[in-house]
């Protein structure tokens, strides 16, 4: 029996999460993409704490006009700036089971432009 899109993504996510985990020295940048919005958070999996987060629903980002891909770049820049303020420079990227393409790729490139290394 064929898997639904969400079941397939969940399997890929679990496969990626076996390898990628966030530590205090190198936290994980986790991405969630819905049909309208995109969310990103930097997580230390050892302590279970979120260090920085940003989404397309934030006031300064939601007021910006543009395509969903352009908004994803702004979210990447925003989360990177918050992470740099918190003292995080290097991260591991967790694409959350989504293909590294389109909005997810755009978010990653925005974070790199703002100064995160991964």
Summarised one tens digit per residue, pLDDT across range 56-74 is: 999 999 998 899 999 999 9
- How many separate domains does the chain show? 1
What share of the chain has pLDDT > 90, as a percent?
A: 86
Q: Which residues contact 82 (CB under 8 A, 6 or more apart)?
A: 42, 52, 53, 54
Cα–Cα distance, 11 to 25 (Å, whole number): 27
pLDDT in tens, 29-48: 999 999 999 999 999 999 99
- Could you tell me if residue 61 is inside a domain? yes
Range of the domain at 104: 23-114
Cα–Cα distance, 26 to 42 (Å, whole number): 10
Cα–Cα distance, 74 to 39 (Å, whole number): 11
Q: Is pLDDT at 1 greater than 80 in this prediction?
A: no
- Could you tell me if residue 7 is inside a domain? no
| 13 φ/ψ angles, rounded to the nearest 5 degrees | -60, -45
Q: Which pLDDT does position 83 carry in this prediction? A: 95
Cα–Cα distance, 82 to 24 (Å, whole number): 16
pLDDT in tens, 17-29: 888 888 888 999 9
Q: Tell me the mean pLDDT in the region 76-89.
A: 95
Cα–Cα distance, 116 to 107 (Å, whole number): 12
CATH number at residue 106: 3.30.420.100
- Could you tell me if residue 3 is inside a domain? no
Model pTM score:
0.90
């Amino acid at each position: 029996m064929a898997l639904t899109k969400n079941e397939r993504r969940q399997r890929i996510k679990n496969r990626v999460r076996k390898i990628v985990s966030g530590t205090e020295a190198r936290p994980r940048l986790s991405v969630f993409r819905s049909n309208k919005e995109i969310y990103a958070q930097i997580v230390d999996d050892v302590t279970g704490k979120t260090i920085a987060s940003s989404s397309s629903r934030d006031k300064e980002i939601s007021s910006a006009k543009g395509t969903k891909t352009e908004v994803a770049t702004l979210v990447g820049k925003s989360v990177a700036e918050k992470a740099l303020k918190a003292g995080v420079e290097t991260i591991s990227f967790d694409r959350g089971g989504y293909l590294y393409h389109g909005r997810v790729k755009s978010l990653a490139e925005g974070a790199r432009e703002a100064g995160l290394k991964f």
